[in-house]
Amino acid sequence: MKLKVIVVDDEPLAINVLKNYIGQVKELQLEGTFSNAMEASSFLRDHVVDIIFLDINMPYLNGLEFLSTLHVKPFVIMITAHEEHALESFDLEAIDYMVKPVSLPRFLKSVDRVIGLKQGSIVSEENVKNEKPSIFVKVDKKRLQKIFLDEIMVVESLKDYIRIITPTAKYIVHRTLSSFTEELPSEHFIRIHRSYTIAVGKVNAVEGNSVEIGGIRYTIGRSYIEDAKSRILTNLKR
C-alpha cells in the first residue's frame, strides 16, 4: 500500500524538487501540490493523506499556524530555509524538519523514518489483540519512544514538561500533566495531586495523605484525597 502525500510550498522550484524526489520512491503516491496552506486546508477536508511536506514561510497562513489548526495530524515533515523554527515544529508534533535546499539523501532519510513508523503501525488484527497497550511519546525532540502502559508507575508534572517513571527508566516529555492524563485509561490511572498522576495498581502502601510507589512517597492533594483514597484502597483489597 502506497502512502498518500501532498506538498504545501509557495516556491514552484521547491515543489518541483519534491515532486521529483517523491516520484523516485515507490512507496509514495503524490496526491497534490499547493502553493498556500488555505488550498491545502480545503483539500484535507475531503481527503485523507499520510504525509504532508509543509513549508513554513508562506503567505496568508504560515506552515506552523496551519499545522496548529489540524485536529487529525498525518505525518508532517517541515521544510524551510531557516532553522530557528525547529523546536516549535516538534512541539506541534512534526515528525521531521528539513532545511532547503533539500538533498535527495536527506529526503530519503526523512521518508524512511516515516515509512518505518507507518509500517510499524500496520499489524495484523491478531497481533493487535495480543499486543500490550502502549503509548508513544516524543523524547529528545525527535525520537518517538514506545512505553507499555502497565510499566508506568508515576507521571510527574515539571511545568511545561512531564516525567514518566517506569521501573527501568524515566522519560522527560514536552506535555502537560492534564493532557497526558486524559490519554491514560481512567480505570488504571488517577490524578492524586496537581503534580502527580499514578498507576493505581502500582501503589504499595497508603500512609496518611501519601502513597508509596517503588519505595518513594507521593503526597495526595487535598482536593483529590477522597476519590484517590477510595480508588486506591479498593484496589489494595483485591
Q: Residue 101, preceding bond cis, omega within 30 degrees? A: yes
- For 212, residues 6+ apart whose C-beta sits below 8 A from its C-beta are 203, 204, 205, 206, 218
**DSSP notation for 162-213:** EEEE-SS-EEEESS-HHHHHHHS-TTTEEEEETTEEEEGGG--EEETTEEEE
- 202 within 8 A of 153, measured Cβ to Cβ: yes
Q: Region 165-192: what's the mean pLDDT?
A: 91
pLDDT tens digit sequence for 11-34: 999 999 999 999 999 889 999 999
pLDDT tens digit sequence for 76-107: 898 887 665 544 544 556 788 888 888 998 89
What is the Cα 233 distance to its own chain's centre? 33
pLDDT for 93 equals: 65
Q: What are phi and psi of 84, to 5 degrees?
A: -70, -10
pLDDT tens digit sequence for 122-173: 444 445 445 678 887 888 766 778 889 999 999 999 988 999 999 999 999 9
All domains of the chain in start order, with CATH:
3-121 (3.40.50.2300), 132-236 (2.40.50.1020)
pLDDT tens digit sequence for 55-74: 888 877 887 888 888 777 78
C-alpha grid cell, residue 162? 512531564
